[in-house]
Amino acid sequence: MIVKYHAARVTTALHRDVEGVRRVLLARTDGLAFHDDGPESDHAGTAAVVAAVLGLAQRAAAANVLGDLRGTTVRGTDGNLVVYPVDQSHVLAVITEPTANLVLLDRLAARLAGDLAGAEAGVPARAR
């Protein structure tokens, strides 16, 4: 089971290891916020948008026979939104500065999303 501690650990790692991370959130795929280090007034709206981005990206991947979605990136002039599926019920999203190293972010965030999926499945951290 994913608990707040798991989400906080992921947030700390991303902020520490990737320069330019502005915000990290873990949302449910139904659009409800689970953990968000952004402004509290923004949690519900951002979680809903992140869940919608994930759903759209999954449909695009399926429609184009791309296999299982590993992540998607929305790039803007003022920053990036990178979204990773965690499991059937959760999505990890990272908002960055436009200059953030997205390759480094992708490597770390994909591993951390896998760790979260393992936590959901009840796999002990030492077995992952």
Question: Each residue of 29-52: pLDDT tens digit?
Answer: 999 999 999 999 999 999 999 999
Give Cα 23 distance to the centre of its chain: 10
Q: Would you say 25 and 15 are in contact if contact means Cβ atoms under 8 Å apart?
A: no
The answer to whether residue 72 scores a pLDDT higher than 90 is yes
Domain that holds residue 114: 4-127
pLDDT band at 7 (very low <50, low <70, confident <90, very high): very high
Here the CATH number for the domain that contains residue 47 is 3.30.450.30
pLDDT of the residue at 120 = 67
pLDDT of the residue at 123 = 54
In this prediction, what percent of the chain has a pLDDT beyond 70? Answer: 93
The answer to whether residue 67 scores a pLDDT higher than 70 is yes
User: CA–CA separation, 84 vs 114, rounded Å?
Assistant: 10
pTM of the model: 0.90
**3-state DSSP assignment of residue 124:** coil
Residues 80-93, mean pLDDT to the nearest whole number: 96
User: CA–CA separation, 128 vs 115, rounded Å?
Assistant: 7
What tens digit of pLDDT does each residue of 98-127 get? 999 999 999 999 999 999 988 766 654 544
pLDDT band at 3 (very low <50, low <70, confident <90, very high): confident
Number of domains the chain contains: 1
